[in-house]
Chains A and B, each alone.
Chain A
């Protein structure tokens, strides 16, 4: 992709256009655009690879954990609730701390350290068969994990705003999926391999230490990225995100525009209609569509697999077309259609789930970058933190509610419940409120157009 765009594009900074030189100066030169993709983007993607890999370690080793540690299902589920419930609040503070105290570089490093320590504790807990330690570990891991995602988003905006932000968000989403997919496929064989030498909870502990290795790798990425970011700031004389200039105070949240809260609501309303459904989907596909468990599993994971592949591509296309808002509405509407298809017809669920995967990819890569259009850069960490917190709250509560609904009233009512959630974003986006978002978007599109014109002019100058 980089090569394709080389002759025309250049790394233009908003405030210092004079300092720019032509593209193609090599990966080590922060002035060149290659540098932005390699190494920065690559490292950025691996920044939270470790945390996504380890987040689903328990799921990948569920049977082994239940057996080796003699856990009940309830105790096992605690590993997940200890991660998600604290993050209903914590990642808001994580984002705020990035803006106010640490800055994105230090923030990313600190949160990576939390993730690594958490996973090491988790492994030790298993090695010594201490359930308490493992619970504490998941909490520490959670403190780091979600806030690290906020830091990653902030980094992405810092490096890619006004350029390929949708694509970068798509790519990050894709990598999070890759992280958990790799985990799902690697941990079980790894466990079996270790089991040839060590057995029981010790085997489990050693397997989990491999996850800790991934976290260390991500920590290294955080350090490297911090170095590159600082170097780029120095060479390009960029203003640091935090530390200088304006500083956000906690109460500034009050002045966040309405459109930001709207995006947050859309985000939570959409995500609760997709992920809790996937969580409960297995039985639905088996029983309603008469599938074997293997088929049902395949259908159920389609949303994840498709989003891993499609979201960078859609992100790239949305970068080209602009009009994020249109894509968000399209994503929501199409998902609504998919749910209706699954709920009211017997058409093979492959159709519904594939289209839902595509719609989710469109929505995810269009929705998150919109925040960067309406929130000033020095408040972005807080903004993404809030969004993530609301999303966590929504997912945690709605997952519980969805479980209750399906157990008492069945899947048809559950699907209607999800569809009602999907209707709410469309309602929210009534004409008046759309105005604000659209204006922000147009401003962005125009800015970009202008930038591209300048860049292409410069490119032409350079060639001649």
Chain B
């Protein structure tokens, strides 16, 4: 009963989702787009310092008659790792323009605003835009093994992502992903042991499908998958746990952001994970805005498996402007570069990694977490035909056999009882014996 209800909702969701989002797109990727003299000088300098302000522009245009429907992604480590998504319609030449001097805040520039602009003349062409900004890496000493970042902890090591230095972006998965990796000289209390790395990988999809790796999230042409990996990162404490502080910034609408966790009885694709977390930028028009989706699981080993998985926790959304330091980080992020002084909706929250008794980060010195950021309706899991067949065959057939067997036995018993009675009648000369 619950299943059918769910399936129905899913059907509706995917149907209405199709209105806003396309099934297939042509994806072009450009590293350091619009790289002018200022940009080139900065790149030259980066080669010597080893710290790159990566910026990758991905243009995913609709095919054929939909070529005017374009999704623009900007993946960047300028100041902080972040992703900007802009959806334009009605102009197949629509593209984003980048002003590197403003972006990297050259000598006379104090504000990043308008570093990224659209070339489309009419403002109406921008259907929707939002950004996801990773602002801080939180590390705490989890003495009580609570795995709750909001619980009171004495020792903290909070790193703003502005402090990190990034290597030049590389591509992975046969060119289908972009990887931003920190350099080995990231700030750490133990300066001599900094062999670890922190990386963000963005997978770009031109059509729908399902990731091969756990948690095997669904993807489509309208989202990108983010793999966050903390590998051999030197923990500050014996019982270190990590958390990511994430901010979503979207263009102004009358709608507010909404974070929701849904449960399912089916864990076919990600064994042991029954929940999905969706963070919608438009809480009451969930198929028209942006979203960040993830399954609350992260992996403590490179070989992702049910056994190496542990939980992630999510927390309530808060207004980042209540925290001055967070506001100042946002002011030097892609969100500022694109939205400038426009009025926007901002919310932030933490995603913390680990579950009590899982041995803390130090157990394997590894944590990997996957999420997807996209536009339109977030992909929704359905109970697959395979599982329905297995349930029907594994349970249905025996149950049917038992029921028919039972009926057969009852009928036979009744018959034989009648048979006995007739015999008794003969023997007793027609007197009816009591039936027991």
Residues of A participating in the B interface, judged by any CB pair closer than 8 Å: 283-284, 286-288, 292-294, 343-346, 406-413, 416-417, 419-420, 423-424, 426-427, 430-431
Contact = CB atoms under 8 A, between A and B. Distances in A.
B409 interface: yes
Interface in B267-316: 267-275, 297, 305-307, 309, 311
Interface residues of B, number: 35
B311 A288 contact: no
Contact of A410 (B263, B268, B405): B268
B357 interface: yes
B266 interface: yes
Contacts of B305: 407
B311 A286 contact: yes
A416 B394 contact: yes
A406 B311 contact: no
Nearest to A289: B274
A413 B402 contact: no
A411 B267 contact: yes
A182 to B, nearest CB: 23
20 contacts: A288-B263, A288-B267, A288-B274, A293-B357, A343-B265, A345-B265, A346-B265, A406-B306, A410-B268, A411-B267, A412-B265, A412-B266, A416-B394, A416-B395, A419-B394, A420-B394, A423-B395, A423-B399, A423-B402, A424-B398
B398 A410 contact: no
A410 B271 contact: yes
A328 B206 CA distance: 57
Q: In the complex, which of the residues A406, A408, A412, A427 has the most CB atoms of chain B within 10 Å of its own CB atom? A: A412
Given A288-B274, A407-B271, 19 more contacts: A283-B306, A283-B309, A287-B267, A287-B273, A292-B356, A293-B355, A293-B356, A406-B271, A407-B306, A409-B387, A410-B272, A411-B271, A412-B387, A413-B268, A416-B387, A424-B398, A427-B401, A430-B405, A431-B409
Nearest to B402: A426
Contacts of A424: 398
Contacts of A411: 267, 271-272, 274
Contact of A427 (B270, B356, B387, B402): B402
Nearest to B401: A427
Contacts of B311: 286-287
Q: Which 5 A-B pairs have the closest CB atoms?
A: A423-B398, A410-B267, A420-B394, A410-B271, A293-B357
A286 B355 contact: yes
Contacts of B266: 410, 412
Contacts of A427: 398, 401-402, 405
A132 to B, nearest CB: 27
B398 A283 contact: no
A419 B399 CA distance: 11
B144 to A, nearest CB: 12
Nearest to A293: B357
Given A292-B356, A293-B355, A431-B412, A284 B402 contact: no
B269 A410 contact: yes
